[in-house]
Structure 1
Amino acid sequence: MTDQLALWTDDIKVTPKFKAFGRVESTYRTPSPEDFQTEAVDSLELTFEGIPGDRHSGITRKSGGREPWYPRGTQMCNERQVSLLSVEELGLIADRMELDDVRAEWIGGNILVTGIANFTRVPPRTRLAFEGGAVIRVDGENMPCRFAGAAIAARNSGREGLDLLFPQRAAGLRGLVGFVEKPGIVSAGQAVTAHIPEQWIYTNLNK
């Protein structure tokens, strides 16, 4: 048993915790819960429900295609209250799609940040602490989908194929989703600190 435990612990590669620093570029919310695309606002008042009145607000939500382990429509914890995007990564997506730009509001973004490298790869459990007091806990990557691609196509004279191109070109760049751990105000110009937790690669020892 001792040898088996040693194998388990020795096989895990650990990266110590650290901080990364950035700034809020702009903030957005949906005009109504029925809308997908967002509109620029001066600031966001985050509560434990997320952004009040936004499409994704609520302490709970209904499961969908991302949760095949539940029957569709199952009530579950809402870990997707806020969508966060990166200025630098949106620029890369635009380049890959051969577009002049891809804007956060077209694809339902709530908070646009700059300065944090490889933003979409920020790991789950990271705390994004904003200068206005709000803290968002990262759930994980927001996977690019055809629905968002269709919104981009509509902004580019319906250019054929953009809806399918977006999931391909935006892989690993589409930003993060998270939930409000501590309420507060988020507005443009605020500093944001990413508290990256200790990370490890969990190797499949069952194979």
Structure 2
Amino acid sequence: MTADLFGEDQISPLHHTPARKLKADVSAVMQTPQADDFQTRKVSGLTLTLEGIPGDRHGGYTRCSGGREPYYPRGTEMCNERQVSILSEEELRSIARRMDVRAVEAEWIGGNILVKGLANLSLIPPRTRLVFEGGAVIRVDGDNRPCRYAGKAIAANYPDRDGLDLLFPKVAQRLRGLVGFVEKPGTIRAGESVTAHVPEQWIYQPG
């Protein structure tokens, strides 16, 4: 009777994947040399604060909305969930193969942290916590959608090839890495380990 009263008999079975921890390594850390630069450069250590990376193009507590947020007028101030860009060695190699180029470097497309050994990085779900050996923690907001702007940066390194700027958004879907925000400040260095604390997952079904 109680179950009927609260409608519990109407709840769909929950098909879920339990939480897990996955280990990987940091290959390189990068930041923009100036706040108006898109491409990044390798540094010895990446200092993270609650504002993100000080001086980096994507740093700050807030940011202005753009093409990714059609539900707001462009330029609307909003929270900055895109403070840090995380990329995968394995996925960049896959993109390069699909584009038939020698390599796609993380710096060309604005990466801040390059990792290796974390399978299907771009498919890691939101709410995952990336806990770095030195103590810094980044909370994943979601995957980073590939755009022509990054494609142009790649194309500039292959002047003998036409159409790479348009090819990149097509072949880099779900391979472009992640964006996230700083949950716990600290310094990240190349060579240290990172543990992805992936939360329990399920597919939401409205009924």
Instruction: Give TM class, smaller chain.
Output: over 0.9
Rounded to whole Å, the distance in 2 between the matches of 1:5 and 1:169 is 44
List per-residue Cα deviations over 1:159-207 (Å, max 9, x = no partner). Answer: 21101100111111000000000000101001000000000100132xx
* Residue 78 (structure 2) pairs with residue 76 (structure 1): yes
- Report the CA distance between 1:69 and its aligned residue: 1.0
Instruction: Give the aligned residue type for 1:182.
Output: K
TM-score by length of 2: 0.96
CA–CA distance in structure 2, aligned partners of residues 64 and 32 of structure 1: 21
**Cα distance in 1, alignment partners of residues 183 and 41 from structure 2:** 24
Amino acid across the alignment from 1:105: E
1:8 aligns with 2:11: yes
Give unpaired runs (5+ residues) of structure 1. Answer: none
The corresponding residue for 1:128 is 130
Which ranges of structure 2 fall in alignment gaps of 5 or more residues? Answer: none
The corresponding residue for 1:67 is: 69
% identity of equivalent residues: 62
Alignment of 1:41-190 (within 5 A): 41-157=43-159, 159-190=161-192
Aligned alpha-carbon RMSD (Å): 1.2
**C-alpha distance in structure 2 between counterparts of 1:33 and 1:6, whole Å:** 55
Report the CA distance between 1:48 and its aligned residue.
0.2
Distance of 2:75 and 2:8 partners within structure 1: 41
Report the TM-score when normalising by structure 1.
0.96
Q: Match of 2:107, as an amino acid?
A: E
CA distance, structure 1, for counterparts of residue 43 and residue 54 of structure 2: 13
One of 30, 40, 43 as aligned partner of 1:38: 40
Once residues 201 and 5 of structure 2 are traced to their aligned partners in structure 1, the CA distance between those partners, rounded to angstroms, is 24
Counterpart residue type for residue 8 of structure 2: L
